[in-house]
Amino acid sequence: MTPEVFELETLSRDECLRLIATVPIGRVAVIGPNGAPHVVPVNYVIDDTRVLFRTDEGLKLSALRVQIVTFQVDCFDPTHRVGWSVMVHGRGREVDDLPQTIVGWMGAGQHVVCIDVDEIVGRQIKFQPGETDSRGYL
């Protein structure tokens, strides 16, 4: 019987953008004043190559005004041990000129933040089944 094989595949920019549009919750990461990462979940929307979310005043908003932001999304199937992860790096900025139909999907928060995608990287773990044995088991 051949053992299970897992393959790690690098995703294209287009595939990364397609995948992050399929999940409603991502994580925004900034560096806090003590130098430690500050990572928080946000609900968001993708508009072309921009990540949009709402937030209130606080560490996340003040940090993204002066530093590069990381935004991460993933999806995993623990039963089959497959999934993907996409990471975006870019500058965050406040915006106020968005159509209400887009803004309405992003939840609460007084400030609308846009992360322009400067860099996007993604990987996918794929399962490659081994051969079945003579009894038909994997």
CA-based nearest residue to 102, from 60, 57, 61, 44: 44
Q: Write the DSSP symbol of residue 49.
A: T
Please state, in angstroms and rounded to a whole number, the distance separating the CA atoms of residues 122 and 32: 25
Residue type, 136: G
Q: Write the DSSP symbol of residue 136.
A: S
CATH architecture under which domain 5-128 falls: Roll (2.30)
Rg for the chain (alpha carbons), in Å?
Answer: 19
Q: What is the pLDDT along the chain (138 residues), one digit of tens a residue?
A: 455 677 889 999 999 999 999 998 999 999 999 999 999 999 888 888 889 988 889 999 999 889 999 999 999 988 888 899 999 999 999 988 665 655 555 566 788 899 999 999 999 998 766 555 555 555
Q: What is the pTM of this model?
A: 0.81
